[in-house]
């Protein structure tokens, strides 16, 4: 079983005019996918991910200068599930498998009460790889 999806954004103003510049944090495109495979009765592997295209980012002066557009990036997730009884599963998963992070979203973190401090430079994951173990219980309808 698999699913694919894609979003392409074309921002226009009311009245149909195009803005002079791209909107902040509006990626040019975004795609998502998921694949699921049952390799033994009760055992399922799920793989999913997302790709995010470049987007306009805030501009900061002088020593705090950063890129005003990001590079495209992708995140990948993997999960193994074992259904030991109807409606009961044990799951083991890894989120952000490739450990992609954008780096610090903080501008001038050494002076949190200074004029340059800003937290708005968030365009991608700030948490790296995460592993989870869980139990899923589903009641009948």
pLDDT at residue number 141: 63
- DSSP calls for 81-115: EEEEETTEEEEEEEESTT--------BSTT-TTST
- Mean pLDDT of the chain, nearest integer: 90
**33-44 mean pLDDT:** 91
**70-78 mean pLDDT:** 97
More confident call, 9 vs 79: 79
Residue 129 confidence (pLDDT) above 80: yes
pLDDT at residue number 100: 97
Query: Residues of the chain with pLDDT > 70: what percent?
Result: 96
pLDDT at residue number 19: 77
| Both structure tokens of 48 | 């999913």
First to last CA, the chain: 23
- How far is Cα 34 from Cα 49, in angstroms, rounded to an integer? 7
The predicted-structure confidence for 17-26, as pLDDT tens digits, reads as follows 787 788 899 8
pLDDT at residue number 94: 98
Residue 54 confidence (pLDDT) above 80: yes
């Amino acid at each position: 079983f698999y699913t694919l999806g894609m979003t392409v954004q074309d921002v226009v103003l009311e009245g149909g005019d195009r803005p002079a510049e791209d909107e902040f944090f509006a990626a040019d495109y975004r795609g998502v996918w998921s694949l699921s495979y049952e390799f033994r009765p009760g055992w399922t592997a799920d793989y999913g991910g997302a790709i995010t295209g470049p987007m306009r980012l805030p501009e900061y002066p002088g020593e705090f200068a950063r890129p005003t557009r990001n590079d495209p990036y992708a995140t990948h997730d993997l999960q193994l599930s074992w259904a030991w009884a109807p409606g009961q599963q044990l799951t083991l998963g890894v989120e952000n498998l490739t450990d992609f992070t954008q780096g610090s979203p903080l501008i001038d973190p050494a002076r949190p009460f200074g004029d340059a401090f800003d937290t708005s430079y968030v365009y991608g994951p700030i948490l790296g790889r995460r592993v989870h173990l869980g139990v899923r219980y589903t009641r009948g309808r």
